[in-house]
A and B are shown apart, each in its own frame.
Chain A
């Protein structure tokens, strides 16, 4: 898995772009990169899942932890463009009730993420 953090919208949005598989072995790196995004203190953190090919329940757990931290610190936390099988997982686990899911980063920013 590769992951990096960038800033958009004059620093108001932190984007975590992830590539590859989010399985048990990469959870420490996922937590680290999500912490980096929170540390920028944006009003919104977006996790771009466009290039994520696999995620297991522990990976979902890390996203839930990051969502909780965002709530506590008064920022939004949304997901962008999960592949169909990953969107299916989010629906089966009903996590689409917790996360907002946008088609593109631009859509999320336009929706005042």
Chain B
């Protein structure tokens, strides 16, 4: 089993881009399908952008910590911010007719739709994403 890798980024778009690119290069090396790579890229983007926007509220002094590893059959990524956390159960369903025209609120739904497992810490400021390599 591979050890955890850790990347700590500032709450800025540039830091996010570099970290995501470097993780995706590793994902590609592990032979995930094109579809799985798209799913991982999408879920990672949603988690990191949520951490920067909603968790750290674009505060440049606050960091986002990405930890990831491959356990032989799956890619596991956790994204933690320095915010107060939130309760994912309170996020409205973006596919409900009354929410369909809202330009926000789809990140969590997409993470759930594209990953095999999505778990939040009790504090709600860390999400763990799991994608099996089938």
Contact = CB atoms under 8 A, between A and B. Distances in A.
A23 interface: yes
B110 A92 contact: yes
A22 B67 CA distance: 25
B45 A92 contact: no
Interface stretch (B2-10, B78-86, B93-101, B124-132): B93-101
A62 interface: yes
B19 to A, nearest CB: 12
A56 B100 contact: no
Given A61-B103, A65-B103, A93-B94, A24 B13 contact: yes
Contacts, number: 57
Interface in B104-124: 104, 106-107, 109-110, 113
Contacts of A58: 49, 104
Contacts of B94: 93
A58 B106 CA distance: 8
Nearest to B94: A93
A57 B100 contact: no
Nearest to B20: A23
B102 interface: yes
Given A61-B103, A65-B103, A67-B101, 7 more contacts: A25-B17, A58-B49, A60-B106, A68-B101, A93-B110, A94-B95, A94-B100
Interface of A: 23-25, 54, 56-58, 60-62, 64-65, 67-68, 85, 89, 92-95, 97-98
23 contacts: A23-B45, A24-B16, A25-B13, A25-B17, A54-B38, A54-B41, A54-B42, A56-B46, A57-B46, A57-B106, A57-B107, A60-B106, A61-B106, A62-B103, A64-B102, A65-B103, A85-B35, A92-B109, A93-B110, A94-B95, A95-B100, A97-B100, A98-B101
